Amino acid sequence: MPESRRNIPNIIITGTPGCGKSSHSQSLVDQLNRGFAKETTIKFKHFDVSAFAKDKECLESYDKNLDTHVVDEDKLLDELEPELEKGGAIVDWHCCEIFPERLIDLVVVLRTDNSKLHERLTKRNYKDNKIQENLDCEIMEVILTEARESYIPEIVIELRSDEAEDLDENVDRISSWVENWIEDHPRGVTNELQNADGEAHDSDEEEEEEEDNEDGELVTSGEEDYSPVPDNEEDSDDALASYHDSEDPATVEDGLTNQQKYDLEQKEQDDAEVLNEEDEETNEYVEHQEDVSE
């Protein structure tokens, strides 16, 4: 299967509700598509995740206390990942850590002054507890921390979003970044998982290895497991003899060849003869000593 690649970047625009994510996202898409109007292969698209989740029936439940829907994240990713693999997705949501790092090229975290944020949320008729929760989230930098923990620092940027002028400046800045990204990646980037060497992870190859393992092939951890069975048949007699030297012959006789049994018996007889000779020499010595004493 050919490697899946994208030729234009995917961008997440995130932040506390009321910070201007949707305005930034749509303005950015409009400006980029105007700038690349002559490029038929380049097309950016705004994904308002809240609306997308509702349209694709990815809503799990409804939280009455916070007056908001709970999204089924697994189902959402199943629907959204194919769009991300195409490239050119401008993802607009207050949550960012669920999106695969391999499919994201830039994360923009918008920050807003609390007084302005309170004013915007009040105009939306948010409940007091919901307003306070969002203000606390902004004060504690929850979303910024989440972004930095979920993606490499180089792709996470923090932009102010307090005034209308901020929106224009931010969109211009992100547009310039996109132009540079496309220029720096003429062949695009892979959508596949990367290994330690920066190469695309081959899932098919891994599956083949797993199938081989299931068929009973030996898997080692880099060190050879100890085994008394020799690799070379010519050394088998010596290897077995060495392995059994410290064992009681009675416990190892089973399983030996006839030749090995014969050799073992001969060794026992030789040992017995040596002992007999030693006993005879001892007896002769004792008798001699007795004669001398008499």
Residues in the chain: 294
Partners of 156 in beta bridges: 107
Is 23 annotated as ligand-binding?
Answer: yes
88 marked ligand binding residue: no
Is 27 marked as a binding-site residue? no
Read off the tokens for 71: 């999204």
Distance CA 11, CA 28 (A): 10
Helix, strand, or coil (residue 191): coil
C-alpha angle 6-11-13 in degrees, rounded to nearest 5: 165
Distance CA 12, CA 21 (A): 10
62-79 core/surface letters (b: 16 or more CB in 10 A; e: else): eeeeeeeeebbeeebeee
Tell me whether residue 124 is annotated as binding.
Answer: yes
Distances from the Cα of 189 to the Cα of 46, 59, 79, 212, angstroms: 20, 32, 21, 32
Q: Compute the chain's Rg from CA coordinates.
A: 39
Q: How far apart are CA 272 and CA 154, in angstroms?
A: 82
22 is in an annotated binding site: yes
> Which DSSP symbol is given to 231?
S
Tell whether 5 is in a known binding site. no
Q: What are phi and psi of 25, to 5 degrees?
A: -60, -50
Binding residues for ATP: 18, 20-23, 124
Binding residues: 18, 20-23, 124
